[in-house]
DNA sequence: AGACAGACCTGTGAGC
DNA sequence: TGCTCACAGGTCTGTC
């Protein structure tokens, strides 16, 4: 479910209920997420005030004075703002309480997500130390993709999904961006021209930016922090549209497995 | 080093 | 109706 736009949407949804507030209570019902949830370390943060919040790649960071809560939604996670009295459902693993009325609740059926308590310096933590640039920041562009791709035989789709190259481009938006840039997903990354990479970088920025404005993409179960679906699904050009006509030229959209992930493209619009 | 496969989990929908 | 199977939005880890 959650790619960068979904995580950004989630962050924006919970921010008014978290930023500047004091953590009053933590309730952990299930510690078996991707890594064991450090109950005691989270409990020690109670009484401390949130000084800032940010997103890095697909991680949500809740910063306190001397520690940070790091959350990842994995494949199936969501964070929602709920009334404090709301009883937990199946897979509601963690509640964070920041005021009298609300809780922030992590639900994650597949338990691929995580919730950790980190000590500074944050940027030296293994999960954050080797991340590539943010796709929506100015330091990411076609030039960077071109330089990093020289000599690489890997399929360009797998290349842009590599978090060391650029963060936050997941399976849906990788297919969508390549469509927009006219590039075949299976082309070797090292064989693509600088000019094409400029188009691709712009496409990634545009697709992610639009998806954030739409509140993310809801395929099956993604909901924003207020429980509403994301609306980017209606904008998808190729993802999950195999055998349907391309919106641009009418050719049948094809699918193919690359790097163990389903990939969608238009054989006529994507020729490079 | 780069590239790939496997691993972690549960829910859903298709096909029988 | 109920069973089995394939597949799903992520990403770390190990192996070649």
Give the 3-state secondary structure of A185-200: CCCEHHHCCHHHHHHH
As annotated, the active-site residues of A are 2-3, 58, 261
Nucleotides of C under 7 A from a protein CB: 7-13
Mean pLDDT of the A105-114 span: 94
The CATH class of the A4-124 domain is alpha beta
CA distances from A224 to A9, A186, A199, A201 (A): 6, 33, 30, 27
pLDDT digits (tens, 9 = 90+) for A86-102: 999 999 999 999 988 99
User: In the structure, how far is the CA atom of residue A13 from the C1' atom of nucleotide C10, in angstroms?
Assistant: 22
pLDDT digits (tens, 9 = 90+) for A24-50: 999 999 999 999 999 999 999 999 999
pLDDT digits (tens, 9 = 90+) for A156-200: 999 999 999 999 999 999 999 999 999 999 999 999 999 999 999
Q: For strand C, which residues in window 192-211 of chain A come within 7 Å by CB?
A: none
Task: Say yes or no: Cβ of A259 under 7 A from any atom of strand B.
Answer: yes
User: In the structure, how far is the CA atom of residue A100 from the C1' atom of nucleotide C7, in angstroms?
Assistant: 42
Containing H/E element for A176? helix A171-181
Tokens 């992590």 map to which residue?
A106
Task: Say yes or no: Cβ of A234 under 7 A from any atom of strand B.
Answer: no
Of A54, A47, A82, residue with least CA distance to A68: A54
pLDDT at A222: 65
Domain boundaries of chain A, sorted by first residue: 4-124, 142-265
Running DSSP on this structure, what letter comes out for residue A166? S
Q: Please tell me the distance from the alpha carbon of residue A223 to that of residue A84, in angstroms, as a whole number.
A: 19
Which residues, including other chains, have CB under 8 Å from residue A213's CB and lie 6 or more apart?
none
The pair of structure tokens assigned to A219 is 């395929």
CA geometry: angle at A42 spanning A99 and A229, to 5°? 60
- CA closest to C1' of B4 belongs to A259
- Find which nucleotide's C1' atom is closest to A188's CA: B3
Mean pLDDT of the A124-147 span: 94
Task: Say yes or no: Cβ of A120 under 7 A from any atom of strand C.
Answer: no
Task: Say yes or no: Cβ of A171 under 7 A from any atom of strand B.
Answer: no
Which residues, including other chains, have CB under 8 Å from residue A168's CB and lie 6 or more apart?
A3, A4, A7, A57, A58, A134, A135, A208
Domain A142-265 part of CATH 1.10.8.50: yes
pLDDT digits (tens, 9 = 90+) for A256-268: 999 999 999 999 9
Nucleotides of B under 7 A from a protein CB: 2-13
Task: Say yes or no: Cβ of A222 under 7 A from any atom of strand C.
Answer: yes
Task: Say yes or no: Cβ of A152 under 7 A from any atom of strand B.
Answer: yes
């Amino acid at each position: 479910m959650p790619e960068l736009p979904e995580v950004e949407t989630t962050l924006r949804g919970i921010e008014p209920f978290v930023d500047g507030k004091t953590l009053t209570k933590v309730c952990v019902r299930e510690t078996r997420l991707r890594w064991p949830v450090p109950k005691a370390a989270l409990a020690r943060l109670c009484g401390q005030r949130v000084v800032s919040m940010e997103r890095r790649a697909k991680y949500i960071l809740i910063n306190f004075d001397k520690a940070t809560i790091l959350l990842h939604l994995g494949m199936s996670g969501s964070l929602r703002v709920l009334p404090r009295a709301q009883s937990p459902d199946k897979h509601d693993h963690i509640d964070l309480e920041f005021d009298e009325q609300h809780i922030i609740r992590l639900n994650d059926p597949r338990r691929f997500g995580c919730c950790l308590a980190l000590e500074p310096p944050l940027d030296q933590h293994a999960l954050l130390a080797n991340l590539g640039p943010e796709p929506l920041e100015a330091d990411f562009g076609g030039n960077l993709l071109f330089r990093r791709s020289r000599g690489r035989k890997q399929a360009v789709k797998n290349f842009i999904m590599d978090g060391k190259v650029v963060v936050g481009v997941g399976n849906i938006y990788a297919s969508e961006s390549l469509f927009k840039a006219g590039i075949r997903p299976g082309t070797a990354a090292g064989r693509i021209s600088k000019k094409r990479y400029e188009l691709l970088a712009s496409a990634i920025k545009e697709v992610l930016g639009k998806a954030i404005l739409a509140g993310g993409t809801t395929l099956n179960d993604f909901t924003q922090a207020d429980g509403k679906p994301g609306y980017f699904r209606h904008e998808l050009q190729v993802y999950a549209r195999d055998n349907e006509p391309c919106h641009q030229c009418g050719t049948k959209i094809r699918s193919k497995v690359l790097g163990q992930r389903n990939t969608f493209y238009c054989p006529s619009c994507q020729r490079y």
